[in-house]
Structure 1
Amino acid sequence: MAKKKGGLTVTKVWELCEPIVKDFGLSLWDVRYVKEGADWFLRVYIDKPDGIDITDCENVSRAIDKPLDELDPIESAYCLEVCSPGLERELVRDEHFMQFIGADIKVKMLRPIEGIGREFGGVLDAYDNGKVTISDHDGENHITINKKDASWIKLDDFDM
């Protein structure tokens, strides 16, 4: 869960939504509270192994709408969106990294790494306590970065 993007609000929404999402046989991928232009969005990302469809999004949206209104974690007006994390999904939680060891990823660092740059790709080799090990596709060169030093780490060419 992206606590840095919405803080306590995101934590409260996560705690409310997770059991509801699980009741539908889905997993809660992430929760984001973000501003785009003049509008605020509460985005609840859901997933399941064989992918989700619009019906899954509709069902979860309907199921969390009333409890969200009752909890009232957000004082201002916002738009609720229930959606898929997408094909190039951002790896956020520890479980995401563990699940996709061996997958192609792309990384955008907060600051450039000497000799590599700010954006690069590779294979997710290992993950341990916030440390991400990435190799080139030949497996010859490895780099370990702190997850917190990356703007984002996403799956590249995701194939379920």
Structure 2
Amino acid sequence: MASVTESIEQMVNPILSKYGFYLVEIEYVKEGNSWYLRLYIDKPAGIDIEECSLVNQELSDVLDEQDPDLIPHAYFLEVSSPGAERPIKTERDLQLAKEQFIHVSLYQKLNGQKVFEGTLVDYNAQELILEIKVKTHKQQITIARKSIASMRLAIEF
């Protein structure tokens, strides 16, 4: 039997593809006494609140038609943008982040640092190449992907 998030993904993907959107992440979590079904969606030019509302309504209609209910208890459905500093978790995320400014956290120090911010120049299955600023000049650094704890888009100041 498929999990709730897998079932929701199958239901929402046709809705998203109809509008040229894509799914970033699904969360189905209990916070306090309430359950939340959260979908983070995006498109190349960025997603706006009206588009999130459109997907929310269409997915809500699809969920209401399910018999038996996929989620038998009360929950809150939230559809939103992943935000300007969204996590980078999948190969698709990496592809979209290429040539973008990103934040990379490591499990262990590399060159005395556990955190790097720079432009994602390139990547492959084993490593990624970042262009970072060191004082007044830029240099490229290669980071093994197995050493990366987390990555996200970042805002460059």
Q: What TM-score, normalized by structure 1, do the two folds share?
A: 0.76
The answer to whether the Cα contact below 8 Å between 1:41 and 1:78 also exists between their aligned partners in 2 is: yes
The answer to whether the Cα contact below 8 Å between 2:28 and 2:35 also exists between their aligned partners in 1 is: yes
2:121 is the counterpart of 1:125: yes
| 2:45 corresponding residue in structure 1 | 50
State the alpha-carbon separation in 2 of the partners of residues 27 and 79 from structure 1: 21
Deviations 1:71-97 (A, max 9, x none): 744444321100011111111221110
Which residues of structure 1 form unaligned runs of 5+? 1-6
Q: Which residue of the other structure, out of 18, 21, 24, is the alignment partner of 1:23?
A: 18
Task: Please tell me whether Structure 1 or Structure 2 has the larger radius of gyration of its CA atoms.
Answer: 2
| 1:3 corresponding residue in structure 2 | none
The letter for the 2-side match of 1:78 is: Y
State the alpha-carbon separation in 1 of the partners of residues 104 and 90 from structure 2: 15
Number of residues paired by the alignment?
Answer: 148
Please give the secondary structure, in 1, of the residue aligned with 2:3.
helix
State the alpha-carbon separation in 2 of the partners of residues 64 and 36 from structure 1: 22
Q: Which residue of the other structure, out of 91, 94, 101, is the alignment partner of 1:94?
A: 91
**RMSD of the alignment, in Å?**
2.6
From the superposition, tell whether residues 80 and 123 of structure 1 become closer, same or farther in structure 2 (CA, over 3 Å). Answer: same
Deviations 1:124-155 (A, max 9, x none): 232323744434232243222238x52x3110
Percent identity of equivalent pairs: 32
Please give the secondary structure, in 2, of the residue aligned with 1:142.
strand
The letter for the 1-side match of 2:143 is: I
State the alpha-carbon separation in 2 of the partners of residues 81 and 132 from structure 1: 33
State the alpha-carbon separation in 2 of the partners of residues 124 and 24 from structure 1: 28
Runs of 4+ in 1 over 4 A off after TM superposition: none
The letter for the 2-side match of 1:124 is: L
| 1:33 corresponding residue in structure 2 | 28
The answer to whether the Cα contact below 8 Å between 1:134 and 1:144 also exists between their aligned partners in 2 is: no
Q: Which deviates the most, 23-32 or 66-75? A: 66-75
Which residues of structure 2 form unaligned runs of 5+? none
